Amino acid sequence: MEFLVPLLIVLIICVIVVLGAWFLGRRSKSGNQAAGLGGADSGVKMRANPAITRELAAASSAQLTPEQHRAVYSLIARQQQINAIKEFRRATGCSLREAALAVASLDQFPQATPEPEWTGELGAEGPDADEKNEDVELPVVPDSPAGIESAGTVVPDSPAGLESLGRIVPEMPATPMPARGAYRYRAIVSKGDEIREVASTRLNEEIFQQIRALALAGKLDDAAALLAQHSDIGAIEAQEFVAMIEPED
């Protein structure tokens, strides 16, 4: 009897060890089977479709108008792949498989919305729209300078410029324009106690001597006109001025 108790204890320990090993073995097998199934599924999910490429996405985008392109991408953004495939088929008329590959490529490789091309039709805006020349009918303007100004027409100052517009204008002596910072010539005449002076940047010694020669020759009107042309005084003041020119002593 003294050996029976230790023997029972050893048997019980052996049974417990065997049962534990059997239980752990079943759990390990079940885990491996689950892991194997999961790995197979992952392999299926990670396997890429070689038909879905960036080139296919670009080619598919080129088949769509800007409105169709926005409609397909709107459905893709809302995770409505089936509706996106239907929209692509409706727009291009391709097969179901081609539409599915195209939508998958557009989803994986997003494409920018194509810009509409200018067709050159009337009313369409193109890159050279601002450079187009339009025929403009010129208004009929009276021949007089006042009529030209009232019509608002810009006409060159020279007679050649007026003649280019179909108007014959008599030649007029050009009035010299004063230069900025030019010297103001001072012409002074005296007669008795009266002294008069004319100062102008368009007047110089040579012109004043011409005025003086005309006045002394009795051509007062010509002298006054030349003085008024090269100064800022009026015709009456110019006549009064040249009338006071006398021969020098």
Give pLDDT tens digits for 182-191.
678 888 888 8
Considering its fold, how many domains does the chain have in total?
2
> Within a domain: residue 68?
yes
Expressed as residue numbers, the domain containing 216 is 185-243
- Domain closes at, from 108, 131, 149: 108
What does the pLDDT read at residue 171?
A: 53
Read off the tokens for 60.
């598919």
What does the pLDDT read at residue 16?
A: 84
> Within a domain: residue 192?
yes
What does the pLDDT read at residue 162?
A: 47
> Within a domain: residue 195?
yes
> Within a domain: residue 159?
no
What does the pLDDT read at residue 98?
A: 94
What does the pLDDT read at residue 219?
A: 92
- Rounded to two decimals, the pTM is 0.33
Burial 132-161 (b: 16+ CB within 10 A, else e): eeeeeeeeebeeeeeebeeeeeebeeeeee
What does the pLDDT read at residue 142?
A: 52
What does the pLDDT read at residue 17?
A: 73
What does the pLDDT read at residue 108?
A: 93
- Domain closes at, from 62, 88, 108: 108
Which residues does the chain have with pLDDT short of 70? 1-3, 27-48, 116-182, 249
Rounded Cα gap, residues 172 and 178, in angstroms: 18
- Residue 92 CB-density burial (10 A; 0-12 exposed, 13-18 middle, 19+ buried): middle
What does the pLDDT read at residue 47?
A: 47
> Within a domain: residue 224?
yes
What does the pLDDT read at residue 21?
A: 76
- Dump pLDDT digits (tens) for 67-113: 999 999 999 999 999 999 999 999 999 999 999 999 999 999 999 98
> Within a domain: residue 80?
yes
What does the pLDDT read at residue 249?
A: 45
> Within a domain: residue 169?
no
> Within a domain: residue 84?
yes
- Domain closes at, from 108, 140, 173: 108
